Amino acid sequence: MSGIFRITRRDFLRNIGVGTGALVFGCSIAPDEIFADTDKLKSLILRGIPLSAFVAIKPLSGDITIFTHRSEMGQGIKSSLAAILADEAEIDWDRVTLHQADADAVGFGVPFPYAIPGAPAIVRAEDAQFTDSSRSMAAYYMPMRIFGAGLRLVMVRATAIKWGVKESELEARQQRVYHAASRRSIAYNHLLLEASKVKPLPEIDEIKTVLKRPDQWRFIGKTTMPFTDAKDMVTGKAVYGADVNLRRRGMLTAMIVRCPVANGTLKSFDASAALAVPGVKFVEPVLPANFPCTGGVGSNFVPHAGVAVIAENTWAAWQGRRALKVEWDLGPNESYDSEAFRDELKESTERPGKPVRWKGDVDAAIGGAAKVVEESYYIPHLAQTPMEPPTAIAIYENGSGWEIWSPTQGPELAQHYIGLAMLEPDLVQGLVWQAVELSELSRECEHETQKIFNESLAKRLGVDEATLFKMRDDLKKKVRDKVKVHVTLLGGGFGRKSNPDYAMEAAFLARNHPGIPIRVQWTREDDVKFSFYNSVSRQYFKAGLDAGGRPAGLLQRSAFSSFFATIFPPPAYVPADQGDIFAKARAAFHNGGEYLYGSSIELGQGLEDNPYVIENLRIENSPAPNHIRCGWMRSVANIYHAFGLCSFADEMANAAGRDSKDYLLELIGPGHMFTEAELRDKEHVPCYDNNLFPIGRKMMPIGGQEKEIMPGYPPDTRRLRAVVERVSKESGWDEKKGKLPKGRGLGIAAHRSFLSYVALVIDVSLNEANELTINEVHAALDCGRVINPDRVYAQMEGGILYGLSLALLGEITVKNGAVVQNNFDDYPVLRIHQAPKKIYAYFVEPSPEVVNDYPGEEVPPTGVGEPPTAAVAPALANAIFAAGGPRIREIPFCKKIVVL
């Protein structure tokens, strides 16, 4: 067995408390010694014997528990991943109970080469449960199949041992292994003893040979996919963050008054009136002024400074909070005003920015153009507002540490941030978390920055590299031992619940009151005012069209406040002597950029991967500082990049007097798969990140020999073209052209994000009062293989409506450093009467030519949660213009048209 399973195995053994035995990642069988230890056996009979990190079986009943490790927030991933495993393992779904796993970063990591055949890890162990970037299926589809098939193979092999027959004569169906010749069968749970004797356990390469064929699947790719929580959700039994019942343990509820300005600090507070409210027990600061807010894996996800009112129930805490008087030192961000900042962004995009990708001579091309088109687009800060406001419960026990319940997209992130903040107050010491062995990195571009960081940190701490890594391992062990995180259902996430600031608040307060569960409950006002906002942005374009109306040259400038300015502390907050090491840490962390500029993540979301064929191209990132917390919202930087680029494509088409769809197809061209070498040689892309999924082909040692593999999913404009063609056909674009009545129009937009391809056609009407009606939305999606058709369709509907909501209504403004909006009355979101009644989604299968370029026999499944969202605003703006309405270059559209 190769060394790549080392961490997982060790951790697994530690977790279940058994010794080393027959065990392989994803397909382990309880070792012999379990059966020799009566006490252990008793407990395992009751809660099931773990067959792997993902599956446990009860030896008497045969009932199965599948541990679901990704956070469920509406995408159906909890059932989908479990059903993939059950399908391949031939587990009887009627006997399956799903159990949401606790934070366990290493236990659920999928190391190379599970992710896709012959490719490196898509999700490192550290990110195993971080449910972001629409990547659960991309990362875990193949692993789940392998774990399932491995389990089935072991059961078959165990039967062969037990009965002395050939494996080839056996067949597993619904948790039983059948021997047709002797008409015998045996249940999985009666095979555990023999299964523990199957040594060595099968390796991945062998398991891959027994994967089911698609025609043998029960669930994968079918509408039979289960949706386990649906009934609990409609009967009120489903447990979300605030529903965890610890009242018998004396749970108290905290509400917090927070400093309205990011990075402000507490000056003073008067608790007397709050304490006079019946039911209020304590009033205390949440974060002291010197609370560590930096270090580690980017642990500046700390809460705003606050004062907590802790009471017997929510209402008492809320009343106490209203009575509380607090004074703040607002700090330098007090001067932040989003209206003024808008002008700052404008000025920034009027000057040359940092080059991101360039080829040819753009200035000459524009100078010699027959026609010049020049436009800018503005996208304000946006808040995610999941229906469930942030909430978390924490208990602290002296000695043992924290136990936390929270609806979180990042179980292990919550664990790590809380652990680091509480247990390693020294900022530089905390940075050891980020030391990474270069051999663990799969992207060439990471090596240099990580190497520099490792060396610099080791030097600063006065240790050698081996000691540095040991310090890191010790710190991680301490954090993981001391902080336990249970994950509840999420009442929506949309990126807000990636950031565990609310769990940090609960953990902090719990430490002051050992043994008492403290639930921190946010109000909607808290959620609107203290989000991690999608960044404000301005997108500038200038194109020179040739005589045929095609762009001979395109200049694009993107200005936005990078969320890296939130993840890492602003320079002003870092002590002078630590500035250098933090700069290096920032550079090493996910290829983070310099201050004022975007990270490779943001640049890779629709900016540097501009899909159009344009001879002379210059894409720049214009500098923008940051004054409030920025983070992620469903489709993130794609929101502003797609709005700009897909709107501008339509403006060029109109300037050229061309049909928008035909023009778009011409911009995309026949399509091709991007390669790293091509971009580096011909187009000067300094860092082509592709949303953290490496591109290009390289040689990797596989099975003892060098093999060419494709590590990841490079942009492929053949797939973008295909979704445009499909959505045009389905929406009847060509038939409707020129035949629509006055006041009605079609808009089109196509965008690749999170490795998937989406094209939308929106059909709108605008009456004389400028009132908007959305008649139809057509959406074509290529996400590789569709695993759960019903939930993918639901994500398309949901992603489109989320995009409509932000396009029509979304705007967060800031005055004097504080967010102006409060609740759904002044931060409106889409309601049922505003939602189009006709939404059609079409799944596009990649063409045989595309499939041929991917390893394996299919294009692996990719994201569906976020991809539909980004294309909505430009498609809608283009439709409104086509309907005779104004050209809208600014979100929210309700400023230009009437949204009833």
Could you list the residues that contact another protein (CB under 8 A)?
72-76, 227, 229-240, 242-243, 245, 247, 253, 278-279, 313-316, 319, 385-389, 489-494, 521, 523-525, 790-791, 794-795, 797-802, 805, 823-825, 829-833, 835, 837, 839
- Distance, in Å, from the CA atom of 43 to the CA atom of 28, rounded to the nearest integer, reads 18
Quickly count: other Cβ atoms within 10 Å of residue 20's Cβ.
10
Comparison of 44 and 727: residue with beta carbon closer to another protein: 727
Least Cα distance to 119 among 835, 727, 837, 860 occurs for 860
Q: What's the gap between Cα 19 and its chain centre?
A: 35
* DSSP code at position 26: T
Of residues 255 and 664, the one with the C-beta less far from another protein: 255
* Smallest gap from residue 130 Cβ to another protein (A): 18
- Residue (525 or 615) nearer to another protein, CB: 525
Shorter beta-carbon distance to another protein: residue 164 or 236: 236
**Backbone phi and psi for residue 799, each to the nearest 5 degrees, phi listed first:** -65, -35
Whether the CB-CB separation of 304 and 262 falls below 8 Å is answered with: yes
447's enclosing H/E stretch is: helix 444-461
- Cis previous bond, 113, omega within 30: yes
Q: What tokens were used for 131?
A: 């449910």
Burial 337-372 (b: 16+ CB within 10 A, else e): bbeebeeebeebbeeebbebbbbbebeebbeebeee
**In terms of CB distance, is 278 or 741 closer to another protein?**
278
**475-512 per-residue burial string, b: 16 or more CB within 10 A, e: under 16:** bbeebbebbbbbbbbbbbbbbbbbbbbbbbbbbbbbee
CB of 545 vs another protein, minimal distance in Å: 38
* Residue closer to another protein (CB basis): 525 or 662: 525
The Cα–Cα gap between 155 and 192 comes to 8
CB of 75 to another protein, least distance (A): 7
∠ CA(137), CA(142), CA(148), 5° rounding?
110
Residue 41 CB, nearest approach to another protein (Å)? 37
CB nearer to another protein: give 249 or 351.
249
Smallest separation, CB 73 to another protein (Å):
5
- For 209, other C-beta atoms within 10 Å of its C-beta total 9
Kind of pairing, strands 483-487 and 401-406? parallel
Q: Is the dihedral of CA 644, 645, 647, 652 positive or negative?
A: positive
Q: Which of 600, 609, 558 is nearest to 756 (CA)?
A: 609
Residue placing its CB nearer to another protein in the complex, 671 or 799? 799
| Pick 111 or 390: Cβ nearer another protein | 390
Whole-angstrom distance, CA of residue 170 vs CA of residue 164: 11
Please say which residue, 211 or 233, places its beta carbon nearer to another protein.
233
What minimum distance in Å lies between the beta carbon of 249 and another protein?
14
CB of 537 to another protein, least distance (A): 22
Q: Which is nearer to another protein, 281 or 482 (CB)?
A: 281
Shortest CB 319 distance to another protein, Å: 7
What contacts 678, CB < 8 A, 6 or more positions away? none
Closest separation in Å from C-beta 89 to another protein: 25
- The least CB distance from residue 757 to another protein, in Å, is 20
Q: Smallest distance, Å, CB 493 to another protein?
A: 8
Nearer to another protein, 38 or 235 (CB): 235
Which helix (H) or strand (E) covers residue 508, if one does?
A: helix 501-512
- Shortest distance (Å) from residue 314 CB to another protein: 5
> Helix (H, G, I), strand (E, B), or coil: what is residue 457?
helix
Residue identified by tokens 């639901």 is 794
Q: CA torsion 353→355→358→361, rounded to 10°?
A: 50
